[in-house]
Amino acid sequence: MNQFYKYHGLGNSYIVLDENRVDFDIDSTFIRKICSPAFGIGSDGLLLKVNALNAEYGIRIFNPDGSEAEKSGNGLRIFGKYIFDNFKPGRNFFSVETLAGNVTIGILEEDENGASMLRVEMGKALFSAAQIPVLIHQHEVLGYPLKVSDRIFNIHCVNTGNPHCVIFQDVLEESIVREYGPLIENHRIFPVRTNVQFAKILDNDKVELQIWERGAGYTLASGSSACAVGVVGKKLGLLSENITVLMPGGQLEIDIADDWSIGLVGPVEKICHGYLA
C-alpha cells in the first residue's frame, strides 16, 4: 500500500499513485504538499490511476497547485510507461480514459528499464472559442490582439484536451515568459485559465517554445503545449503536418492529420519509487 512512482518526460516530472492502493484521501491539500520539493517528494503534478468506465485504464491529472487538468501529453506518456512496466497489459498499446475523452497510448521502444519511447493519440484539436473556452465574440481566436499590462500580444487559441494560448515571437526570452505567462494564464477572457506558449518558428517542420503551464508555472516541457503550437502553426500555414518541437527539456515529435487529430511521440524515464509514510 501507499507505493508511489516518479517519472519525467523531458524534465517535466509527475508522481503516480493508484487510488486502489492508498489508504488515505487524495485532496488538493495533499497534492500541493506531495508536489512541493520542500514538504513532499517534489514534482510538476500528480497522476492518479482510477477505475475506467469506457477504457482499459483511467487517469486523473492534477497540477501542483491542486487543480485538475483535463489532459497532459507528458503525463499520459508517463502513465503509459507506468501501466506497461507494472501491469503488463500483454500488448504495446492500450486505451486510457481522461476527463477530455479516451486516448490510445502505444509503446514504440523498450530498454532494460521498460518502456522508453511512447506515442499518444491526443485526439482532435478544437479551434472554436466556445470549446477552448475563450470569452471573445468570434468563432476562432487567431491573431487576436490581447492587452496584458504594458504589452499587446497577438494570441492564437486552441484546445488540445486543455486550453492553450500560443504567441509567436522572433526571440524567446525566459524573463518574458515568467513575467507575462501568469498574467495571460489568469486573464479574464480565459474562464478556466489557460496554458501559455511563446514560440519561435525555425523552419516549416521545426519550432522552439517556452511554456507557462496552467497551475504549474514555468516548465521545461509540455506535450499538450507542443501539440497546441504545432496545430496553430499548421492552421496559420507556418508549419507542416510533421513537426519537431524543441523545448528547454528536450524535443518531441508531432504529427497532425487533415481532421486535426494529433499524434505525440517522446521519451519517458523513471526517476524513483518508494512508499509514503
Do 104 and 155 belong to one domain? no
| 136 domain-assigned | no
User: What does the pLDDT look like over 68-106, one tens digit per residue?
Assistant: 999 999 999 999 999 999 998 989 999 999 999 999 999
Interhelix angle for 223-235 vs 73-87, to 10°? 130
CA 161 to each of CA 14, 27, 70, 127, 256: distance values in angstroms, whole numbers, following the listed order: 18, 23, 6, 11, 15
| 237 domain-assigned | yes
Closest CA to 200 of 173, 222, 179, 236: 173
| 194 domain-assigned | yes
Identify whether the C-beta of residue 233 lies closer than 8 Å to the C-beta of residue 207: yes
Do 103 and 25 belong to one domain? yes
Total number of domains constituting the chain: 2
User: What is the domain range of residue 253?
Assistant: 142-259
Interstrand relation of 217-219 and 242-247 (parallel, antiparallel or unpaired): unpaired
Do 169 and 112 belong to one domain? no
Do 96 and 191 belong to one domain? no
Do 30 and 104 belong to one domain? yes
pLDDT, tens digit only, all 277 positions of the chain: 899 999 999 999 999 999 999 999 999 999 999 999 999 999 999 999 999 999 999 999 999 999 999 999 999 999 999 999 999 898 999 999 999 999 999 999 999 999 999 999 999 999 999 999 999 999 999 999 999 999 999 999 999 999 999 999 999 999 999 999 999 999 999 999 999 999 999 999 999 999 999 999 999 999 999 999 999 999 999 999 999 999 999 999 999 999 999 999 999 999 999 999 8
Identify whether the C-beta of residue 252 lies closer than 8 Å to the C-beta of residue 245: yes
Query: The whole model's pTM is what?
Result: 0.94
Q: What DSSP state is assigned to residue 161?
A: S
Task: Give the pLDDT score at 189.
Answer: 98
- Residue 172 belongs to a domain with what CATH number? 3.10.310.10
User: What does the pLDDT look like over 154-182, one tens digit per residue?
Assistant: 999 999 999 999 999 999 999 999 999 99
Q: Cell 484546445 appears where?
A: 159
Do 65 and 100 belong to one domain? yes
Do 163 and 112 belong to one domain? no
Do 113 and 19 belong to one domain? yes
Do 21 and 64 belong to one domain? yes
| 131 domain-assigned | no
